[in-house]
Amino acid sequence: MNSGELAEIVRVDVDSEVRDLVARMVRHPAGQVSASTYETARLVSLAPWLTGHHRRVRHLVGTQRADGGWGTEDPYGLVPTVSATEALLTVVRTGSAPGLDTVTRAASRAVTGLADRLGDVRALPDTPAIDLIVPALMGAINEHLADPPPGLPRTRLPLPPGMTGARLAAVRDRVAARAPLHPKLHHAVEVVADLLRDLPGLTPLPSGTVGASPAATAAWLAAQDRPDAHPAALSYLEAAVRPLGGLAPCTTPIAVFERAWVLSTLTRAGLPVTVPAEVVRSLTADLGPTGVATSPGLPPDADTTAVTLYALMRLGVAVDPDCLWPYETGAGFCTWPGEDGLSVTTNAHVLDALGQHLADGAGHDRHHHAVDRLQRLLLDRQDTDGAWRDRWHASPYYATLCCALALHSYGHPTAVAPAVTRAARWVVDTQRADGSWGRSDGTAEETAYALHLLSTAASDPDTAAAVARGHAYLVGVDDGEEGLPLWHDKDLYRPDLIVRAAVLVARHLAAPA
């Protein structure tokens, strides 16, 4: 077989995989996302009447680490651990599942593990609502342990160093006063589950969701007189856990988010994509004056809006990016009004959208000025090692790819070239001996981000050698449906098709000519 024949086989395989990705998006319109320990545990506590309760309890017991925790052993494990601990304590107290001796032992290990580790928890991750979730659940755990069932210690656990319950107290005061909450807080209203009855402005959407969250929806239902009297919300929960065998995702549905990221990744790499009209309609249907939301039940945000606009532009669909202006601030662009902090990946995605708008021959002075400001912001936010780090993903390889590609594609070449070169050098320097990349162990997802950057925005002998090693690693692993969750929600999650698209593109871009 000659090289031309081999290249044709590879091309056909890529085309087939692209078609399969698009078909999966159509077949699973709610999107595909990994199970969340945090959300699953909240359903154990708040919705023991929901189908699959015993399965969820067994899952929590079966996935507990030897040290008593859940999730990763770094600070990202705190939120799933406090959620699972409180859930098992609730099961022991209420007797809502069989095998209580086993559940009690798991709960005891969890309490002991928390007591041993809480004082050492530093540098908490910037995940949504962590300053509400941890105080709320630690308070509930301490209530359980003030008069514990047999087999559990009587104790009181502290909050991690530097964390207070001040923000939770402020939210509780507002809810107790029957004042409506900002829509972004609907995603985590389970932190005030005891106060939700008849809260103004908090009702399920027609689809049944509250805050696009199984936990939030379960909390709202639990606050009603009869959960079965609200069939839409109950149906939402049943549909949320069905694809995961009774476990709960962090957010569902994620159709717009999933489709925008997948299609932007594929089209940016120059892969031909045939997109059904129904998929395009799903991306344009909810675009309004403030853009589009990641999921029904969440407020619109600049990140999802920018990626959706960019994907549509790359598909040749005429869209107006002016819905991004409500997110413009003195610093750059916020993810949503009132955001704590600033996301470099949100700003990189806005640069993609506005830069592509200008590249398509549209736009005016305001778009040009915004592109210049975004370029300066990203350059200023690059870390001294050459990487970028962000609040929406645990891995610096994701943030570095987003920022470096946006600058490389739409920045002024002479101004951005040194920064892109530093980013590529950092990627080469942090490659693992097996050819992979990763914040802890090497992963297919992070290796894909590293290869995409090096294959697109760098070219020198060291880079070529790193790409060859990375490609050999990536073709030897199965990205599959499982993998280390790295995306930020209330705990870490994995958007399966988005990751598969990233791996597919990296294999394509890094393949030998």
Q: Are 179 and 116 in contact (CB under 8 A)?
A: no
Residue 258 Cα to chain centre, angstroms = 11
Say if residue 480's pLDDT is above 70.
no
Give residue 513's pLDDT. 75
Per-residue confidence (pLDDT) for residue 227, from 0 to 100: 75
For 255, residues 6+ apart whose C-beta sits below 8 A from its C-beta are 25, 29, 30, 31, 282, 295
What is the token pair recorded at 7? Answer: 């290249």
Provide the 10 A C-beta neighbour count for residue 255.
Answer: 19
pLDDT, residue 123, reads 85
As a whole number of angstroms, the distance between CA 247 and CA 481 comes to 15
Supply the pTM of this predicted model.
Answer: 0.95
Instruction: For residue 360, give every residue at least 6 positions away whose Cβ sits within 8 Å of its Cβ, in sequence order, or none.
Output: 313
For residue 171, what pLDDT is reported?
97
pLDDT for residue 302 is more than 90: yes
Rounded Cα distance, 315 and 461, in Å: 34
pLDDT at 460: 77
Look at residue 3 and tell me whether its pLDDT is greater than 70: no
Token output for 404: 């470096």
Helices (H) and strands (E) in the chain, counts: 19, 2
How high is the pLDDT of residue 368? 97
Rounded CA-CA distance 275/280 in Å is 7
Q: In this predicted structure, what is the pLDDT of residue 379? A: 98
pLDDT band at 186 (very low <50, low <70, confident <90, very high): very high
Q: Is the pLDDT of residue 297 over 50?
A: yes
Tens digits of per-residue pLDDT, 240-255? 999 999 999 999 999 9
Q: Which two tokens stand for residue 23?
A: 């078909």
Q: Cβ distance 102 to 143 under 8 Å?
A: no
Exposure on the CB side of residue 20, measured as CA atoms within 13 A: 10
Better-predicted residue by pLDDT, 70 or 10:
70
Is 10's pLDDT higher than 60? no
C-alpha distances out from residue 399 to 29, 395, 475, 482, Å:
27, 7, 23, 22
User: Which range (108-122, 419-433, 474-488) has the least confidence?
Assistant: 474-488
Domains of the chain: 3-29+252-510 (1.50.10.20), 37-244 (1.50.10.160)
